[in-house]
């Protein structure tokens, strides 16, 4: 998940206690919640295919999806969906002042195409967590039916921010950000991360949060031993009708029925 922005100063952020799960203020009507969406089978290709092993291939998972940003350009969402994109996470914000220029268009178009969709934020270590949460909330609609928000935490060597806070500082900043989002959206955020950042900061931490793990060479069980996970980003070199160039491919951890159950419990 690429970043687009440089960043600036920071001040210490206090650790906050996790919030309890909150009731939605604008729930989706029960009749809509009870209608499971059609699941399209995996028809993506991969420009750099990996053999994950017969028993741990992502193709064995029933529900696949994608994540997108400005770099995918104009997308034919109806075609992308029938290729196997049953959900999409859309890049929304970086740091405290950058909005992906395609976010609003992608959000509306994914909704119109009937895709389950959510937004993600690329976290910067040179901005306060509160500023970043406020910026995300300002730009991402509180929409009935949307998937839970995602915080993307990783070390980004291309950023102008070279700061690498301690594990304690990382966790404190993440907690402030996630608490603010949970309070606003009524959904527990999902944590997206990559192997090196996970080893430095998140192994054994945040056990009450769902994780979305990048593992493009081995199964998550080998890269993140002992970590329960919700989504697996298994490729950054996917190829699909409906989108030009490469696209990230992801899978949900569970059966088709598990997916419907998770959506029913996580989407308002």
| 92 pLDDT tier (thresholds 50, 70, 90) | very high
pLDDT in tens, 120-178: 999 999 999 999 999 999 999 999 999 999 999 999 877 777 789 999 999 999 999 99
Cα 180 to Cα 6: distance, rounded to the nearest angstrom: 23
Q: How many CA atoms lie within 13 A of 172 on its CB side?
A: 11
How big is the CA angle at 210 (ends 209 and 212), to the nearest 5 degrees?
Answer: 135
14, pLDDT greater than 60: no
179, pLDDT greater than 70: yes
pTM of the model: 0.88
H or E element in which residue 37 lies? none
The confidence score (pLDDT) of residue 35 equals 65
Out of 154, 182, 205, 244, pick the active-site residue: 154
Domain 39-44+60-266 - what CATH class? alpha beta
Neighbours of 21 (CB within 10 A): 11
154 noted as active-site residue? yes
Neighbours of 101 (CB within 10 A): 12
The domain ranges of the chain are: 39-44+60-266
Q: What share of the chain is helix, strand, coil (3-state, %, to 5)?
A: 30, 20, 50
Look over the chain and give the mean of its residue pLDDT values, rounded to a whole number. Answer: 89
């Amino acid at each position: 998940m690429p970043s687009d922005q440089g960043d600036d100063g920071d001040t210490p952020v206090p650790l906050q206690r996790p919030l309890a799960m909150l009731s939605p203020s604008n729930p989706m009507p029960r009749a809509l919640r009870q209608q499971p969406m059609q699941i399209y089978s995996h028809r993506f290709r991969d420009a750099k295919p990996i053999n994950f092993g017969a028993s741990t291939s992502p193709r064995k998972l029933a529900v696949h999806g994608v994540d997108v940003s400005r770099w995918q350009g104009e997308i034919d969402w109806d075609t992308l969906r029938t290729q196997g994109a049953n959900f999409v996470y859309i890049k929304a914000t970086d740091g405290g002042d950058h909005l992906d220029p395609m976010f609003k268009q992608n959000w509306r178009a994914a909704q119109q195409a009937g895709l389950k969709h959510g937004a993600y934020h690329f976290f910067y270590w040179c901005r306060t967590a509160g500023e970043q949460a406020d910026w995300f909330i300002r730009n991402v609609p509180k929409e009935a039916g949307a998937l839970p928000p995602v915080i993307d935490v990783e070390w980004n060597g291309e950023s102008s921010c070279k700061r690498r806070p301690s594990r304690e500082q990382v966790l404190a900043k993440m907690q402030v950000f996630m608490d603010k989002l949970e309070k606003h959206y009524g959904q527990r955020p999902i944590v997206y991360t990559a192997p090196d950042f996970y080893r430095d900061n998140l192994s054994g931490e945040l056990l009450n949060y769902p994780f979305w793990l990048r593992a493009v060479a081995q199964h998550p069980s080998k890269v993140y031993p002992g970590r329960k996970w919700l989504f697996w980003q298994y490729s950054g070199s996917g190829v699909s009708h409906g989108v030009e160039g490469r696209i990230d491919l992801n899978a949900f951890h569970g059966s088709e029925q598990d997916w419907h159950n998770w959506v029913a419990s996580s989407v308002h």
